[in-house]
Amino acid sequence: MNHVTVNLESADNLSGVAATYYSVDGGIQLAGTTVVLTTEGEHTLTYWSVDNANNVEDHKTTIVKIDKTSPEDATISADLTVPTHNDVNVTISYPGDAAVKQYKVGAGSSWAAYTAPIVVSGNDTVYARGMDAAGNVSNVTYYVVSNIDKTAPTATILYNPATSSTQEVVATITPSEPVVITNNGGSSSYTFYYNGSFSFEYIDAAGNHGTSTAVVSNISSQSTAKPGAPILSDDNGYDTGLQDGNYHIAMNMWNGDNGRIYKLYENGLLIDTKILVDNAPNAQAITTSINGRMNGTYQYYAELTNAFGTTRSGTHVVTVTQAAPAKPVVSNNNWDGDGNFNVSMNMWWGTNGSVYHLYENGILIYAQVLTNNTPSAQSAIAIIANKAIGTYEYRGELVNYAGATSSDTMIVNVTH
């Protein structure tokens, strides 16, 4: 409010009013009935009248407040600022001198009284303004709600090739908005090796879920029913003559409808997956290398799968008993009994070590990396020099992934 005009009215029942006087904030006495107050703040207006009989009225006082200052701008905040599929609650804070608190949602709406946080259910702009008791209005402030997404993502699916194929078909999705794919290892592509369907699952940033199901029917196949029975065998004991930890598992499906996907399980865990060619009714064969198994019993089964189903093999057991190296033998050539001699290690036949260790009186004094060529012989020579007179105890060790195998202990006497 820019200024205040105060009109002083007076009346006298006998002689009539001669003049009216006033002063502002204790200042000089002025005559008149119109007082204009322009400066901000609280003003004391003193006024009185004199009648024609020269009677002076008692002075009267009134307080006039002038407020020319608009309220501070309201501030606006939201309880959720990250992408959300929920409503967003918007809170407006008004300054203490805002006697009137107003808001609106959307530029074209009407101002309404603010009493509690506003529930915004779709992206929009919230406006706020305050008004003080004198009618001064603040600036309009606003907050843009843009993080609400209640729309589930969708996707288009592309098939490559889309025409008839004897090979695989790759289905790739293109989502309608940025998503995280929550299955299929996070990949937007899925490879079909036979006709069927696969559902991609994904989620947008606001947490809305979407699903797209790819259906492939354009893969032509030689097979017309689920695969023939796979039969497993192994070569352990035949490959090296040893039941060591390295061998092969072979699958043969001798005759019948073919599998497109081969899976081999070891003790119930999938350890190999291979894609096979469908050349039904011809046989199928595949081999998996198994390496580094510890002593123990291993149970294997295989699955062959095509568009018509899955056929599982029986269980095939492999026993590993010779995973650790064969026992080495140590010898020496100290015929003269002085302090210089060689300690030799020989392992004549068996599971190889990958490292040789020689201990003297329990202390490791020599190490050598060996070539693993199971079941061939292995040997190593350690040169011992300048030994003092005394008795020395030597022990050799062959080490591989499965453990260490020790030789017998050998005594060498140094006599001069």
Q: Which residue is nearest to Ca ion (CB)?
A: 132
- The DSSP 8-state label assigned to residue 295 in this structure reads S
Are 254 and 331 in contact by the 8 Å Cβ rule? The answer is no
Q: Which is nearer to Ca ion, 259 or 375 (CB)?
A: 375
Tell me: does residue 244 bind Ca ion (CB under 5 A).
Answer: yes
Q: Which stretch binds Ca ion (CB under 5 A): 35-43, 333-341, 352-360, 399-407?
A: 333-341
- Selected binder of Ca ion within 33, 46, 93, 136 (CB under 5 A): 136
Pick from 219, 216, 218: which is nearest to 189 by CA?
A: 216
Rule CB under 5 A: say whether 409 interacts with Ca ion: no
Query: DSSP letter at 84?
Result: B
CB of 204 to Ca ion, least distance (A): 4
Of positions 52, 55, 75, 151, contacts Ca ion by CB under 5 A:
151
Site string for Ca ion, 196-235 (x = CB under 5 A): --------x---x---------------------------
Q: How many C-alpha atoms does 92 have within 13 Å on its Cβ side? A: 31
DSSP annotation of 160 reads: E
184 φ/ψ angles, rounded to the nearest 5 degrees: 60, 30
Binding residue for Ca ion, selected from 38, 267, 340, 415, defined by CB under 5 A: 340
Least Å from the CB of residue 54 to Ca ion: 44
Q: Determine the Cα–Cα distance for residues 184 and 170; give it in Å rounded to an integer.
A: 13
Binding segment for Ca ion among 33-41, 107-115, 240-248, 289-297 (CB under 5 A)? 240-248
CB 85 to Ca ion: min, Å:
8
Q: Can you give 167-220 as a three-state secondary structure string?
A: CCEEEEEEECCCEEECCHHHCCEEEECCCEEEEEEEEECCCCEEEEEEEECCEC
d(CA 204, CA 84): 10
Size of the site for Ca ion (CB under 5 A): 19
Min separation Cβ 6 and Ca ion, Å: 20
Residues near Ca ion, by CB under 5 A: 67, 69, 132, 136, 149, 151, 204, 208, 236, 239-240, 244, 246-247, 334, 336, 338, 340-341
